[in-house]
Structure 1
Amino acid sequence: MTIHDDAPSRPGVSSGAGPVGLDRRRFGAMVLAAGAGSLFSRRSALALSASEEARFIDFEWIDASRNRAVPARLYWPASSTRKGPIPLIVFSHGLGGSRKGYSYLGEGWSAAGTASLHIQHVGSDETLWQGNPLLLLDRLDSAADEREAIERTHDVRFGLDRLLDRGGPFHDTIDRKRIVAAGHSFGANTTLILTGAQVVRDGKLLGYRDPRFTASIVISAPPFYGETDLAAVLASVDVPTLHVTTTEDTIRIPGRYSPAQDRIDVYAAIPTPRKALVVFEGGSHSVFTDRTLRNGGPLNPLVKRATAEVGLAFLDLVYRSDPVPLEDWSATWKPILAAAPAPFQVTPRRISGRRPA
């Protein structure tokens, strides 16, 4: 586990700080839980004062059962934003990404009191862009293979297991009733698989659902390449699901092409009425990543901020039966929306309080 205190900042990437609103005793427990050999940036994490706040904690996990590394980055809310058990969003990156990406989501969500665990998938991560460029197509084909899609679900399950481990420092602080799966692009497919998507292989249904996830945030979901019946693949996805896309959300990578309409088709194929759709006016498929160059211009930071905020508003609807934050969000961001989310029917109940600002 690496605790980042003053990592260098660059556009679109988290600058990092020390431990996240933790007292010295609790932080020490985290370090011990990570195991010997942990590395710390610039200075010993144990020397940090109790008043210092952190944006993220990095874990260098190894799933021994698969002999597979599962790096992860945890964005943990500051003590000032925490009230009771902490909701958790587990995020899966797109093809060629890493745990360092989508920092605006981790930072935005944790600033509002929701923890965010970003899993890195070593079979389809940033290493795809390294090595012989003549072999890039082969690497992409391997990374997008069905076997890697399955490994990704195991990565997420393993990361969640580690975070919820009874002997770990987070076991008593995470709200088990508010654990959310989220992802972008290939990570959106991972999210859908974890919440019920399944395929038929050799006459049998094959699925990798994790019942601990009670809602999902699906950003720019591709179709399930090679599958001809999308409705059948998604027939068992029944958790409340937020879909986020843009009018120009086209996927173009070697061997893969998917028009923006595919994102809408995925949304339409989800059978549960407990779903919502956000469509931004303009913005490429990669506008949701941390990349900024030729990636939406002035729209880029607006889409990022709006995406982080709508995720939180959606969770207010799901877990607090409160449609007001989502309605307010739609009104605020109307100038950049092609389609605004409509709150679905929720069971009326008393709202105990609003999310910390």
Structure 2
Amino acid sequence: MPESNSMVISAKPVVLSAPGRGEDLQVRVSAPATGGELPVVVFSHGFGWSMNGYAPLADYWAAQGFVVVQPTHLDSRTLGLPADDPRTPRIWRFRIEDLKRVLDGLDVLEASVPGLAGRVDRDRVAVAGHSWGAQTASTLLGARVLDPDGVPGEDLSDPRVKAGVLFALAGLGDDLTPFAVEHLPFMRPSFDTMTTPALIVAGDRDDSALSTRGPDWFTDPYVYSPGSKSLLTLFGAEHSLGGIPGYEVAETTDESPARVALIQQLTSAYLRSALCPEDTGWKAAVIALEEEPSPLGRIESK
């Protein structure tokens, strides 16, 4: 991997053929300008966003030595899909297929970005996502959707994915509001088989209109999933976690550059350690927080 804070190159739209989707998949690829054997992070955006969002994460991770791939899902406002489009009920599945299509198309993506050919390490891949994007990414880590009878649906995990970072991932479906139960039936996850290592990031003031429980709903993915997991709880953070979709955007109700900076540093350290076992930055960061607690958040692991 290159040194931290490398110059970043970015290309968009890179287009992947997507038969059966209704239109091809548009992707943004960001990477450091130098260095080889670069690990990959595939990022799934929240509802309505696109490959153009989440610059505080994508640009930072790329500068830290990752190839960051951001597909634009069908729910993006940039596509203007009407609510009565026949694809709408299956958008949650199209989202998952988008991430797998990116993994299948890494050769195409690598060849499409000037100067990137021969520099990508396909054996070191992570997924990440925010909100609905976190749910999308979680399925590749082993989370499954329960049917109306509580039976886990299809296993959509992907062995190519070695780790995940899940921002504001919704909790168990037993705590959905009546609106969510009626209109969002895919929001009934089971984390029992989400065994791939992951960092879950939650805000302690993220009070979702889709849940009857309150902010601790967003800790369910950590509490109910097995295996190596860590939970970063951010104090005072609402659903945008201080502004990870972007600075000065409408969705950010709790803008905090300091909180975003902490997220950048800790998620980068986690991804480095998860994909590059020789890197000890995550362990050092955890120890530092234990010795000197931060007013911005805390970490726990299992």
TM-score range, shorter chain: 0.7 to 0.9
Structure-2 separation of matches of 1:65 and 1:229? 24
Q: Give yes or no for the alignment of 1:247 onto 2:204.
A: yes
Task: Determine the structure 1 residue equivalent to 2:265.
Answer: 309
Q: Which amino acid is the alignment partner of residue 55 of structure 1?
A: I
Contact 1:200/1:206, CA 8 A, preserved across alignment: no
Structure-1 separation of matches of 2:47 and 2:186? 22
- Tell me the TM-score normalised to structure 1 length: 0.67
**Count of residue pairs the alignment pairs up:** 273
Q: Find 2:24's aligned residue among 31, 55, 69.
A: 69
Task: Determine the structure 2 residue equivalent to 1:125.
Answer: 76
Task: Determine the structure 2 residue equivalent to 1:280.
Answer: 234
Q: Offset of 1:320 from its aligned partner?
A: 1.6
Higher relative contact order (CA 8 A, sep 6+): 2
Task: Determine the structure 2 residue equivalent to 1:289.
Answer: 245
Q: Give yes or no for the alignment of 1:178 onto 2:133.
A: no
3-state DSSP class of the match of 1:193? helix
Structure-1 separation of matches of 2:15 and 2:199? 30
Q: Which amino acid is the alignment partner of residue 285 of structure 1?
A: H
Q: Offset of 1:148 from its aligned partner?
A: 1.2
Q: Give yes or no for the alignment of 1:223 onto 2:171.
A: yes
Q: Which amino acid is the alignment partner of residue 221 of structure 2?
A: V
Structure-1 separation of matches of 2:203 and 2:16? 34
The equivalences for 1:125-274 within 5 A come to 125-127=76-78, 145=89, 147-165=90-108, 168=111, 172-201=118-147, 205-223=153-171, 225=173, 226=181, 233-252=190-209, 256-257=210-211, 259-272=214-227, 274=228
Q: Offset of 1:158 from its aligned partner?
A: 1.1
Structure-2 separation of matches of 1:334 and 1:328? 11
Name structure 2 gaps, 5 residues minimum: 174-180
Residue-by-residue CA offset, 1:173-227 (whole Å, 9 max, x unaligned): 2212210010000000001111111235586741222211110000000136457
Q: Provide closer, same or farther for how the CA distance between residues 102 and 204 of structure 1 changes in structure 2, counting only shifts above 3 A.
A: closer
Task: Determine the structure 1 residue equivalent to 2:177.
Answer: none
Q: Provide closer, same or farther for how the CA distance between residues 171 and 240 of structure 1 changes in structure 2, counting only shifts above 3 A.
A: farther
Structure-2 separation of matches of 1:54 and 1:86? 13
Larger deviation, residues 277-286 vs 181-190? 277-286
Structure-2 separation of matches of 1:164 and 1:307? 30
Q: Find 1:336's aligned residue among 279, 295, 298.
A: 295
Q: Provide closer, same or farther for how the CA distance between residues 115 and 329 of structure 1 changes in structure 2, counting only shifts above 3 A.
A: farther
Q: Offset of 1:292 from its aligned partner?
A: 2.5
Q: Provide closer, same or farther for how the CA distance between residues 186 and 269 of structure 1 changes in structure 2, counting only shifts above 3 A.
A: same
Q: Find 2:58's aligned residue among 106, 120, 124.
A: 106
Aligned-CA RMSD value: 3.3
Share of identical aligned residues, percent?
Answer: 24
Larger CA Rg, structure 1 vs 2: 1
The equivalences for 1:6-155 within 5 A come to 55-58=9-12, 59-79=14-34, 82=35, 84-122=36-74, 124-127=75-78, 145=89, 147-155=90-98
Residue-by-residue CA offset, 1:8-45 (whole Å, 9 max, x unaligned): xxxxxxxxxxxxx9xxxxxxxxxxxxxxxxxxxxxxxx
Q: Offset of 1:341 from its aligned partner?
A: 3.9
Q: Which amino acid is the alignment partner of residue 77 of structure 2?
A: E
Contact 2:211/2:217, CA 8 A, preserved across alignment: no
Q: Offset of 1:328 from its aligned partner?
A: 2.8
Contact 1:189/1:224, CA 8 A, preserved across alignment: no
Q: Which amino acid is the alignment partner of residue 295 of structure 2?
A: I
